[in-house]
Structure 1
Amino acid sequence: MERNTVLIALFAALIAVLGLIPKISLGFGVPITAQSLGVMLCGTVLGARRGALATLLFLLLVALGLPLLAGGRGGLGLFVSPTVGFLVGWPVAAFVTGLIVERAKGLPLLPAAILGAFVGGIVVLYAFGIVGMAVTLDKSLGEAAMLATPFIPGDLIKAALAGFVTSALARARPASVLSRA
């Protein structure tokens, strides 16, 4: 229990640290940041339940006003902005990512982690993000999906990076990859 709590807090802090990497602002209010890599790593390393809890802890801190999102953003206002879908989708994305890595025991860790990060951290997250953008920007789902296209190349790189980091961590400290414990 104590170890789980520490790891959940540590990975929430990892998401915050990735927010220190400067964001790339887009004209419609959703920036490109490195923080989605943290969400992917929550799932690939911690597994479904712990990964989702780490992202929920992070979002709670953001909602309380801590400026933890890229660019020093925080507060409840973000949950009615064009980023709302992505933020709400983070716990689900981490959960799905972790679930895939946990269930894909027949695959070596590297491809399982890349697959999990792709499905959870891109497909699932975009589903939430596109709906959030469509609602807040008063766009159709197709128009919102087109707005999401600039994120795809970077997110594909992040999914591969999450797989390689998770695999390297498993080689260095096998017991630390809880998604495969």
Structure 2
Amino acid sequence: MTHRKPSTLTDLALVAVFAGLIAAFSLAPAIPVGALMVPITLQTLAVALTAMILGPWRGFAATCLYLLLGFVGLPVFAGGAAGIGVLVRPSAGYLLAFPIAALVIGFLARRFVLRFGTAGRRWGLFVVAGLAGSILVIHPLGILGMSINGAMPLQAAAVLDLAYWPGDVIKTVIAALVAVAVHRAFPDLFAPVAPVVDSERTSAHIG
């Protein structure tokens, strides 16, 4: 099995770049829908793409960095919003779900590729991983956020959430297609990190 060399600087650079990517996607025009006007954005596409490319922990770190930048005042949330005031909006649950969703999507994507993934199967595996993150994390927490901050029953919030499903499926498919192309160009992204060997101990042992 191919291993990649550990590189803290490379990992930090990837985390920073993909946090910026999520921010850039968040600034695309949003479409408010439903009674609470929670917008349809490209954020979930960027989060899924980040996790599919970086894997669980770097994807988690990138989404956390993105949220941190927004909470400290940079206008990186949908519509140019910023600050911790977004946590009282009906959309807060979706935002807070991003790091957990990145963990789930990244873990499954990496697991699928390392265990089953051939180039021909990766697209379908990435779609499964992305939909799992949406079903298990993003939509449940989004519904909870709308219910709490929008002062409505969970059932009513769940009905409102249905409006976001078609777009999320399309965005997941797009993210998977892009991720496949990236992994084809950089096949070692999901390769296990090579163990660090102490050269002095090795030399002494050989001698």
Report the TM-score range of the alignment, normalised by the length of the smaller protein: over 0.9
Q: Which residue of 2 is the match for residue 106 of structure 1?
A: 116
Normalising to structure 1: TM-score of the pair?
Answer: 0.94
Which of 8, 12, 28 in structure 2 is aligned with 1:5?
A: 12
Structure 2 counterpart SS, 1:11: helix
Is the Cα–Cα contact under 8 Å of residues 63 and 76 in structure 1 kept in the other structure? yes
2:151 counterpart of 1:138: yes
Q: In the alignment, residue 78 of structure 2 is paired with which amino acid? A: A
Go from structure 1 to structure 2 and tell me whether the alpha carbon gap of 1:83 and 1:179 turns closer, same or farther (over 3 Å shift): farther
2:101 counterpart of 1:93: yes
Q: CA deviation at 1:75?
A: 0.8
Q: Which residue of 1 is the match for residue 43 of structure 2?
A: 35
Q: In the alignment, residue 60 of structure 1 is paired with which amino acid? A: L
Task: Work out which structure has the larger RCO, using CA pairs closer than 8 Å and 6 or more positions apart in sequence.
Answer: 2
Q: In the alignment, residue 146 of structure 2 is paired with which amino acid? A: M
Structure 1: which 5+ runs fail to align?
Answer: none
Q: Which residue of 2 is the match for residue 174 of structure 1?
A: 187
Deviates most, 163-172 or 43-52 = 163-172
Structure 2: which 5+ runs fail to align?
Answer: 1-7, 193-207
Q: Which residue of 2 is the match for residue 83 of structure 1?
A: 91
Normalising to structure 2: TM-score of the pair?
Answer: 0.82
Q: Which residue of 1 is the match for residue 140 of structure 2?
A: 127
Q: For 2:21 and 2:80, how far apart are their aligned partners in 1?
A: 15
4+ runs deviating over 2 angstroms: 178-181
Q: Which residue of 1 is the match for residue 52 of structure 2?
A: 44
Q: Percent identity?
A: 39
Q: For 1:92 and 1:70, how far apart are their aligned partners in 2?
A: 19
Which structure features the higher share of helix residues?
1
2:29 counterpart of 1:19: no
